Amino acid sequence: MCVRRCVITVGDLGEFGAVSRISGRLPQGATVLLGPGDDAAMVSAPDGRVVVSTDLLLEGRHFRRDWSSGYDVGRKAAAQNLADVAAMGAVPTSIVVGLGMPPDLPVEWLDALADGFREECAVVGASVVGGDIARSELVVIGVTALGDLGGRRPVTRSGARPGQVVAVAGRLGYAAAGLALLESGWAASEGMPLSRPQEALWEAVAAHRRPCPPYAAGPEAAELGAAAMLDVSDGLLQDLGHIAAASGVRVELDPAAFVVGEPVAAAAKELGADPLDWILGGGEDHALAAVFPAEVALPLSWRIVGDVVAGQGVVVRGRETGHAGWDHFA
């Protein structure tokens, strides 16, 4: 019995109550032939091939509930999987979500999480078609995304050749700058108009909470004839290292070619950091990095930042590069 304030929890709903509550917040799009409520969902795969990617997000490791809302976590969890599908040149059609939750998790948090999943999927026209819930100590989220190539050749990591150019689409360094701000204890004053520099810092923090991957640039790159592509989730240097290794080439980056976004510059000034460290080493913005034949005329969504040459590894011209990037067990 609650006298002053009732917080309804996941434990109050029970397993089937929670499933039905989540399902009620998730409309089903045109590619969904059978949505939640059965042993499995059924999704259209007009191409006759399906692209599939999975990721696991763990509370305390990939997100903190005091730093990110349920809505933020839902958007981020969906985004990082949808970006993997886009990075193959495919259009995401659907995701399924395995969700572990403590019984004392407020239902409000669960609702916000479901809304975050729904809204991020809506950006690309995908739907949450199914899932599974279980009880756990901390919040555990397993997301799997499916996508359709629409007849395009999938763009892998192994097609880069010397003489081609390296380009990126989307933001770099924003999420890393935001995380650094949060780790430094930075907090904007709530509910007041922010000064311009404060606003820029806030945008960096927001980018850590909700990445904004350039989804459309994935299929676009495939149409343009990209030779290799991936999404930047562990840091540009480390991720380009996968292309270099899989393709048997060397990647040389031009540090002057990168745009330092205002939020990244503002955070670097605030914390006395080098913005290029975040741009080259920060993950979680889920930018796309691709390699194109040099003769391809790239649209504005793509910016050339380097070259592919014979050799191995990734270097930044004029810069000493040590290890930069993320290893879950390092």
**Residue set of the binding site:** 39, 53-55, 62, 84, 131-132, 157, 231, 233-234, 284, 326
Burial of 257 (0-12, 13-18, 19+ CB in 10 A): middle
Across-strand partners of 145?
A: 53, 95
Mark residues 152-191: x for contact with its own copies by CB under 8 A, - for none.
--x-xx----------------------------------
Q: Which residues contact 278 (CB under 8 A, 6 or more apart)?
A: 172, 173, 174, 176, 177, 180, 264, 267, 268
Query: 88 or 201, CB closer to its own copies?
Result: 88
Cα(172)–Cα(170) distance, rounded to whole angstroms? 7
The C-alpha atoms of residue 59 and residue 168 are separated, in whole angstroms, by 30
Among 22, 88, 267, 290, binds its own copies (CB under 8 A): 88
| Whole-number Å distance between alpha carbons of 251 and 237 | 9
For residue 61, the SS3 value is coil
In the annotated binding site for Mg(2+), the residues are: 39, 53-55, 84, 132, 231, 234
* 22-41 residues near its own copies, rule: CB under 8 A: 33-34, 37-41
Out of 49, 269, 317, 323, name the contact with its own copies by CB under 8 A.
49
Binding residues among 207-266 for its own copies as defined by CB under 8 A:
229-231, 246
Binding status of residue 42 toward its own copies by CB under 8 A:
yes
Shortest separation between residue 242's beta carbon and its own copies, angstroms: 9
Q: Which of 23, 25, 115, 136 binds its own copies (CB under 8 A)?
A: 136
Rounded CA separation 21/3 (Å): 25
Question: Looking at residue 106, what DSSP letter applies?
Answer: B
Strands 91-101 and 140-148: antiparallel
Binding site residue list for ATP? 131-132, 157, 233
Considering beta carbons, is residue 245 or 296 the nearer one to its own copies? 245
281-320 binders of its own copies (CB under 8 A): none
Q: Which stretch binds its own copies (CB under 8 A): 22-30, 82-90, 106-114, 298-306?
A: 82-90
